[in-house]
Each structure stands twice: as C-alpha cells, then as structure tokens.
Structure 1
Amino acid sequence: MRSITRGAVVAAAVATVLAPAAAQAAPVTDSVGLLGTYGFGRAEVIGEAGLRSGAWQAYSVRSGYTGDDLLVGHPVRTSPLAAETVVYTAAFNEVADPQGECRKVGAAGVANRVWVSFRCRTGFVPSYTLLVR
C-alpha cells in the first residue's frame, strides 16, 4: 500500500511540474465559435482555406440537416492586419451564389472578430475572392 501511495505522490508531482510546460507549448486560441452554416461540403473547403491563409488556427465541421456548420479557433482581432489577406475564392461552378457566400463568410468573420473588415473581389467568370484585414 505504501508503494502505491508513494507512486501516486511522485506521479502527481511530475504532472504538476510538466503541466505548465505543456500548456505553454500549445498554440494560443483566444476564441472558438461558429462562423456559420454553409452548403454541404462548403464548410470544409472554407475551413481548410482559412487555415492555409492563417485566418484561423483550427477549424472543425459539424454536419446538420440544413448544411455544415463551420467552427473556427482564432485570435480575437481588434485592429486590422497590416495588409489584406486572401482567405478563399468561391467560384460559380462550386457554389450556387458565390457572391452571397463570400459576403456571408466575410460578415460572419467581422461579427466574430476573426478579422476587422473584408471585401469580396469579383473575378472573371463569376467568382468572388474574400480578402480580409
């Protein structure tokens, strides 16, 4: 019994010493929230593009009855980025209303303080690129 107690005390001490180091090594995510519900498959595309662009640090997709929910982990932005960053492009052959989707993602990002401002730049053959600051 004594050896079990001694082992538990040693394990607790090691965990106490190592826990702060593990917490410091983890990336900082100030906020995690729902960015919106998008068409089936679109949340995954938007989530991956946002991750690659650095707009957020993590994302997950939750499927529902009306579409896919996009949840993102991101630092809270209170001031604009120094330069515009391209998050993703919605093309007419990928989504029924690329301009509407671009505006919806942009506005949701401002509301959730993922970015401070956005604009949707139109391209040739109706496509819209989301640029954020």
Structure 2
Amino acid sequence: MSLMFRRPEERQSMRTILKKAALVAASVAVLAPGTAVQAKPARTVTALLGTYDFGRAGVIGQSGKQAGVWRSYSVRSGFAGDDLIVTYQPRTRPARHETQVYTAAFTEVADASAECRKVGADGVARRVWVSFRCRTGFAPSYTLLVR
C-alpha cells in the first residue's frame, strides 16, 4: 500500500500513528477477553448424596430442588433406607449467602438434629455445598443452612 504525502514529516507521523494503533490493538487483544472465547460451562454431577430414613430422602430431595441447591433428584429404596441421588454443580467456594435447604421437624423424624448434621456433612463431602449449619427452632426442629 502506497500513500502519497507531500512532506516527509507527514510520512513519519503516519508511521508513528500506525505503530501506536497496532500496539493498542495488540494490548486490547491480550488483556480483554475475546467475544469469541466463551467460558466453559460448569459441569454437573449426578451422585448419591446419602442414605436416609424411609420417606425422608424424597422430602430432602424436593426441598433441595426448591431451594436451588441441586437441579434434580431421584430416590432409590434399599434395605437400610432411601438413597437420595442428586444432580448438582460441585462447589469449591462458599456461596455469598446462606441458603435454607429444609427443616426437619421433631414430628417428622425421630432425631431431627442427627438427620440435619448427616445431610449437611454428606453435602460437604460431595461438594454440593462448602459449609453448613443446623439451626434449631422453637420446637425441637432443625433447619439446614448451607453456603
């Protein structure tokens, strides 16, 4: 490409402008994420969360889905209880806010505290959430809160 300039200063000025423009374009390409490059979609995992008393896995599964902790769940009955299988995105960092997963009331389960601790620990072990706590209510019931 040949550009005709009247004076040598104009030619030198154009070269300087082109060099600076190329440097800026290269910097933007390196430092800014490209629009064509997309982040990898987060992988989902379908795995056994744990085995719980008969009838409890369905309650926990439905509550966790409504809370948005997992995408879907299924229950498989066995000899020792009901297996709860969930589909979720593994977490390595705690969420900004606690999420209430479910409440185990004393009228629904023999030992609400133990069930809450078991579900919470199972979720941490499988990286469904990073941490949990069981909050007691007025009656002997326990609410599972996760991050």
Shorter chain as denominator, the TM-score bin is 0.7 to 0.9
Q: TM-score, normalised by structure 1?
A: 0.78
**Cα deviations by residue, 1:93-120 (Å, 9 ceiling, x for unpaired):** 0000000000000000000000000000
**2:96 partner amino acid:** A
Q: What amino acid sits opposite 1:98 in the alignment?
A: A
Q: Matched residues in 2 for 1:83 and 1:28: separation?
A: 20
**Structure number with higher relative contact order (C-alpha < 8 Å, ≥ 6 residues apart):** 1
- What is the identity percentage for the equivalent residue pairs of Structure 1 and Structure 2? 67
Out of 54, 62, 67, the position equivalent to 1:53 is 67
8 Å Cα contact 1:50-1:56 kept in structure 2 = yes
Q: Which has the larger radius of gyration?
A: 2
The match for 2:122 is 108
Corresponding pairs, count:
107
1:48 Cα deviation after fit: 0.1
3-state SS of 2:118 partner:
helix
Aligned to 2:94: 80
1:40 matched residue in structure 2: 54
CA distance in 2, matches of 1:95, 1:69: 16
Q: Give the conservation status (yes or no) of the 8 Å contact 1:29–1:57.
A: no
Q: Which structure: greater strand fraction?
A: 1
TM-score when normalising by structure 2: 0.71
Q: Which runs of 5+ in 2 are unaligned?
A: 1-40
- Which stretches in structure 1 are left out of the alignment for 5+ residues? 1-26
* TM superposition outliers: structure 1 runs of 4+ over 3 Å: none
On the 8 A contact 1:92/1:98 being kept in 2, the answer is yes
